Amino acid sequence: MDFSWSQEQNDLYRDTLLYVQDKLNSEEAGQVWTRAQWRICGDLGLLGLSVPTCYGGRGYSALTTARAIEAFGRGHEDMGLVFSAAAHLFACAMPIAEYGSEAMKDKLLPRLCSGEWIGANAITEKDAGSDIFALKSRAVRDGDSYILTGTKSYVSNGPVADLFVVYASTNPSHGYLGITGFVIEKGTPGLVLSEPFRKMGLVSTPACRLSLNECHVPVAHRLGKEGQGAQVFKKSMQWERACLFSSYLGQMERQLELAITYAQKRRQFGKPIGKNQAIAHRLVDMKLRLEAARLLLYRACWLFDQGNESMLDISLSKLAVSEAAIQGGLDAIRIHGSYGYNGEYGIERMLRDAIPSAIFSGTSEMHRDIIAGELGL
């Protein structure tokens, strides 16, 4: 088994890291990232990493895409922008790239890859979170269009999105085989967005509720065949769970570097605090969790690229990364002490940004259930 990266992959990581540090971190920090920052992401190719080149993307494999996303998370201090870009790519652009019609792909993907448009995914409902196939949103065929009704409770990028991938039930009696995906453009009559709501972490990612009030969507805007929505969503989640979470590997790498530097420079009782076994061992544990999670994630991406059924491996990696990111955030705060707790230094923000990683793309509890099922339990 070869654990080395190709020269192209190393160059991609280095260039992404340097460009992100130079071009994005120089932007003024705000509560929500700006359209200018988004266009920079498009210019750097980050919004279309895995989209075929013929539609404006870069055509990378999951493994290479994850490597670039890791550099993005390491180089940029605002994980909200990193998350928004990755969600845009994996939950909006990739479903269109893999299940959209040629006309849809030709029209939409170049705009999504360039950063001209922002994409969002709308599936979560009040009573259909982890149980995403218990959807109450309905889509009824009416000639050459569908009439969609229902409410989505949590739509990341929603307040600023130009395009939405929305899932609704076209045949409730068929359960998950009765779900269908649709692409809806902003401004479509009947598509109503709430005001953005406040969150604990990933603060700069705008999120809102989405209502479908007899929203008419042309049949041509359907993703795949009627009833194929479960398959569309499952594939998008494989991309997201395998690749998006590499951004947290990048954040943990940056976090560990900061913690080690602080432990080397901060002195108490006449010596650097890193010389205290309690601090040193905490740093070792951070490194151990990071490297273990990294190996699981890249193995999952490699298997995904080989076309293998990689549900077990993807769930293992997603769970490992999420839990490592949260524990790493706690360790970093305790190492930095009052500086870690102080909002001026950005240490506590990494913990707040890590906590939702155990919730979105399937909760840690759900992934433990998936893993248990794969083990025959």
Cβ atoms of 20 and 69 within 8 Å: the answer is: no
The residue from 77, 125, 240, 253 that is catalytic is: 240
Vertex 68 angle, CA 91 and 71, to 5°: 115
Cβ atoms of 193 and 216 within 8 Å: the answer is: no
70 among known catalytic residues: no
Residues whose CB falls within 8 Å of the CB of residue 107, separated by 6 or more in sequence, listed in order: none
Q: Which residues carry out catalysis?
A: 240
